[in-house]
Amino acid sequence: MKKLLIVSFDLEVGGVERSLISLLNELKGAPYSIDLFLYRHTGEFMKLIPEHVHLLPEIQEYTTFRKSIAEVFKDKNYMLANARLKAKWMAAVHKVRMSLNEPGYRQMQDMWTASLNHLPPLEGHYDLAVSYLWPHYTVLDKVNASNKAAWIHTDFSTVEVDSARDEKMWSRFDSIIGVSESCREAFLKVYPALNEKTVVIENMSSPESIELEAARETAVNMDKEGFKIVTIARFSYAKGIDLAIEAVHILRTRGVSDFTWYMIGYGGDEPKLKELVKQYGLEDRIIFLGKKINPFPYLKLADLYVQPSRYEAKAVTVTEAQIMNLPVLITNYPTASSQVEHGRNGYITDLSPEGIADGIAHLKQDDQARETLRQACTISSFSSKKDLDTFHSLVRGQL
């Protein structure tokens, strides 16, 4: 029996975490002994870990990556706390010197570089060790495995990292897994020398499970009359929620206001996003519903799903909306064409507040256009068989 290890940060509500749970569910009955190592045992999805998966105990040093610096000092992990402080200071310098939009990526790189020597190795030997979420140093330096693989969940042609440092990390893996062909191509624009290591395994979603979840609960606080838009995302720069708010402001200036946009999610940008809504006086048009373990009842009531992201690899939530036969609108981020086919099973609009506003206005007033998108979803196949077969080949060392 093959021994498989999967490593990630935690199981807070998010698209990457939901895709991990879906993968674990798809591996039920496979001839593997599956260990899951999470840096911290937190998050609403913890209770969704399948019974056939063995959750390894927490290791205190790794829990620090999901704690504040103050908490790390309080736990007396002084070396790791100081590494975090140094990385935070360096990120602030990078932000100013390089005009970075998201210095957090550089901060993560610096933090891991400074922390590695203070982290204990994981016990045991595995046939395959999978690092599910960047940065991937734990699997590289702290795990004993015959083969090692790393997952790509974002568009690395847009992420502000130290690419030379990251390439050294990526090059040490046996396999690098992109969640779409466009995601893989974007990665190779930055790291062309790694072409032979890359493979595509798309996020796995079960239509049957989604249908059951949609019927299991009732959506609350979504009872306003009129056209209903839903977005599910972490509230961060990448997800473009600020662009969505600007789009609603534009629509209102055009006299379009008979709709409500429901934002499902959480994240560090939430306070400033709510403040932006308040500044524009859009509290009656944009409703923040918070974190939802089961967002599918909300999708069931929606007229349109919108993903206003600045960049994505392949958004899990868009596929889930399509599985529920919901018309989707996404911005024209670099990998958008791998997510939907414009005008057939989705609508791609300019990556700007004006573009989002134009797309919503068009789909809101054109019932036939929405029905065309809906019908294309009903006849599409969302089977994960091909991607699951590829994963099995990965475990067998055949890729």
Residues 6+ positions from 361 with CB-CB distance below 8 Å: 251, 254, 256
pLDDT of the residue at 345: 93
Largest Cα–Cα distance of the chain, in whole Å? 63
At 249, list the tokens. 């402001």
User: Half-sphere exposure (CA, 13 Å, Cβ side) for 119?
Assistant: 25
Class of domain 2-59+120-204+385-395: alpha beta
At 156, list the tokens. 């690395």
Task: Give pTM, 2 decimals.
Answer: 0.85
Is the pLDDT at 210 greater than 80? The verdict is yes
365-378 average pLDDT score: 94
- Judged by average pLDDT, the poorest of 28-37, 93-102, 269-278 is 93-102
Mean pLDDT of the chain: 92
Query: Has domain 207-378 been given CATH number 3.40.50.280?
Result: no
pLDDT of the residue at 216: 84
Is the pLDDT at 191 greater than 80? The verdict is yes
- Render 66-107 in DSSP notation, one character per residue: GS-HHHHHHTT-HHHHHHHHHHHHHHHHHHHHHT-S-THHHH
pLDDT in tens, 283-304: 999 999 999 999 999 999 999 9
124-145 average pLDDT score: 96
Q: What percentage of the chain reaches a pLDDT higher than 70?
A: 100
230 SS3 class: strand
Regarding predicted confidence, which is higher, 334 or 370? Answer: 370
Where along the chain do the CATH 3.40.50.2000 domains lie?
2-59+120-204+385-395, 207-378
pLDDT in tens, 50-101: 999 999 999 999 998 888 889 989 888 888 888 888 878 877 777 777 776 7
Residue 252's pLDDT band (boundaries 50, 70, 90)?
A: very high
Give the CA radius of gyration of the chain.
21
| Residue of 218, 219, 213, 168 whose CA lies nearest to 194 | 168
Is the pLDDT at 326 greater than 80? The verdict is yes
pLDDT of the residue at 117: 87
Is the pLDDT at 383 greater than 80? The verdict is no
- For residue 230, the cross-strand partners are 262, 305
